[in-house]
Amino acid sequence: MAQDNNRSIISMVATVVIIGFILQVVFIYADKTDSPQKAAVEFSKAYFLLDKTTMNKRLCNAQKTIDEVNIIDEYLQQTANEARQMGFELKYMKNSIYHIKTHTIPLGDAKAEVMLTCKKRKSINPLFATVAKIFHIGETHEIDAMIPVIKEDEMWKVCGKVFALAAPDFS
């Protein structure tokens, strides 16, 4: 009788582990699929964290360089100058976004607009946002943005006027 209980427990644990493994594979696959929302969120996080690599990855080719000026480098330089004028380093200007909500408006097979709503808070280091939230210090800003995205090179990318980045004239 005790042996039947042990077998029952072992089979239950094995079933839970197998189901957990299958779900993990499904979630990994789901996370790898690209979408307009994923592009808008990744770009927005990178923009506020001043992550040049991810911004470059998620910004359309037509917008990366305008009048032979790299838009992302220009934005980071302006932000660094702004920080210096306040007496800080560039990392002081980092912000993190959270409570992110998106709504996608399809405009065809390869075009969409993503309505992004979120909250933004200073993120000097990863712990600062958590401490600020717990002790209710630091300002929180609401962000509502319409982010145009296009499918380029089989990947969704942000393309158009977004936040303070310059945009080419597509008309």
3-49 residue pLDDT tens: 667 778 888 888 999 998 888 888 777 667 788 999 999 999 999 99
Largest CA distance in the chain: 81
Write down the pTM of the prediction: 0.76
Give the start-to-end residue ranges of the domains of the chain: 1-31, 34-158
CATH of 34-158, one of 3.10.450.100, 3.90.1170.50, 3.40.50.300, 3.40.50.2300: 3.10.450.100
By C-alpha distance, which of 101, 128, 124, 95 is closest to 114?
101
What angle (nearest 5°) sits at the alpha carbon of residue 61, between those of residues 142 and 83?
A: 45
Write the CB contacts of 93 (distance below 8 Å, at least 6 apart in sequence): 50, 79, 80, 82, 83
Q: Whole-angstrom Cα distance, residue 116 to residue 155? A: 19
Q: Please, what is the average pLDDT of the chain?
A: 85
